[in-house]
Structure 1
Amino acid sequence: MSHLNKESGNYLDKIPVRAEQIHWSVEENGLVTLDVENKGFFHGIAQKFFHKPKISHIHLDPMGSFIWCLIDGKRDIFSLSASVKERFGEEASPLYERLSKYFQVLHSYGFILFKNDV
């Protein structure tokens, strides 16, 4: 982890928490599907005039599904990385960069919060 800058190191200390409004399920194949309600003025127009769905179903890949199920609001990203490395090995490389980006994306879409944000 020596090649990560201080900001990345601090990011790995963040504790992710699943957003309460996100409903999710685990399919028989072990993959996670997030059900996100599309609400708000513009979504309402899109639903009415363009027949856009009221709920979007986001299907996570195997690694994303594995990580999503590990989020417990207690472990930080660095701690979660050990489980990801054990399960996926080299497939997860570059591990810290991938995890940081994955959690940034989840956070940007409002799928997770960080404990210090809650």
Structure 2
Amino acid sequence: MNKSNKQISRKNNQENLLNKIPVLNEDIQWKSDDDGKVTVYIENSGFYNRLAQKLFKKPRLTQIHLDDIGSFIWLCIDGKRDIMDIGRLLEKRYKEKANPLYERLAKYIQMLEGYRFISFI
């Protein structure tokens, strides 16, 4: 595949992603504080994690604190909005701070999916 075909393929993948509707994984625990900052809690389970908890006093739950933009995106994921809609809301709220908008949003959504924090309907 030559360079222009790769660019077209990447663009098509991004366009397809923008039409998808993300939903939060119901098994993931999270909370939002009064400022809208989201904290995601991940349970450290499995043999090696239990061993580390006992031997090295590692926590049972890992806390992931999302930044302003990450928290905003997380709270926009409601199972009704597609990625394009979330991008519009992000642009309206954060303006230039969110740019390059759809490239960053697509990468963030792919990361959330990779960690199984979200899926698509």
TM beyond 0.5: yes
The residue that corresponds to 1:92 in the other structure is 98
Structure with bigger gyration radius = 2
Q: Distance between the aligned counterparts of 2:120 and 2:56, measured in 1?
A: 35
The residue that corresponds to 2:75 in the other structure is 69
Give the helix-richer structure, 1 or 2: 2
The residue that corresponds to 1:102 in the other structure is 108
Shift of 1:15: 1.1
Q: CA RMSD in A?
A: 1.4
The residue that corresponds to 1:5 in the other structure is 11
Q: Distance between the aligned counterparts of 1:70 and 1:110, measured in 2?
A: 17
Worse overlay, 3-12 or 35-44: 3-12
Task: Give unmatched runs, 5+ long, in structure 1.
Answer: none
The residue that corresponds to 2:36 in the other structure is 30
Shift of 1:33: 0.6
Question: Alignment partner for residue 47 of structure 1, among 34, 45, 53?
Answer: 53
Using the size of structure 2 for normalisation, the TM-score is 0.87
Q: Distance between the aligned counterparts of 2:55 and 2:120, measured in 1?
A: 36
Shift of 1:96: 0.4
Q: Distance between the aligned counterparts of 1:91 and 1:10, measured in 2?
A: 24
Identity of aligned residues (%): 49
Worse overlay, 79-88 or 49-58: 49-58
Task: Give unmatched runs, 5+ long, in structure 2.
Answer: 1-7
Q: Distance between the aligned counterparts of 2:12 and 2:97, measured in 1?
A: 25
Q: Secondary structure at the match of 2:20?
A: coil
Q: Distance between the aligned counterparts of 2:49 and 2:26, measured in 1?
A: 20
Deviations 1:33-92 (A, max 9, x none): 111111122221221222211001110000111111111011111111000000000100
